[in-house]
Amino acid sequence: MEIKHINTNDMVRPRGYSHAVYVSGNRQTIYIGGQNAVDENGNIVGKGDLKKQVEQILSNIEKISKNAGAELESIVKFNIYILFCPRSSIG
């Protein structure tokens, strides 16, 4: 079994974790870490605009997938977590 940690050169390098982990053995599997709406320069994209944020996140996932030798069409499962903070509960 081979385990390879993947960080792409066209994204901000994460601290303390990898963008993805590639595992090969009887099968090849890529586990992509949680992504957020941050561009290659570390800037938050689409503040207050869910559509732009999702587009950036999917772009990040596509970059990671391609770097690991896969395509978006190869993804079999997504876990999506969305956090809504009502304005009345903020400070």
Domains and CATH numbers, the chain: 2-89 (3.30.1330.40)
User: Which among 4, 71, 80, 75 is positioned nearest to 36, based on CA atoms?
Assistant: 80
Exposure b/e, 64-80, CB count within 10 A at least 16 = b? bbebbebeeeeeeeeee
Alpha carbons 56 and 1: distance in angstroms, whole number: 33
Residue 14 and residue 21 in contact, taking contact as beta carbons nearer than 8 Å? no
Q: Quick one: what percent of the chain has pLDDT higher than 70? A: 95
Average pLDDT over residues 62-87: 86
DSSP state of 33: P
Reported as a single tens digit per residue, the pLDDT across 40-57 is 999 999 998 989 999 999
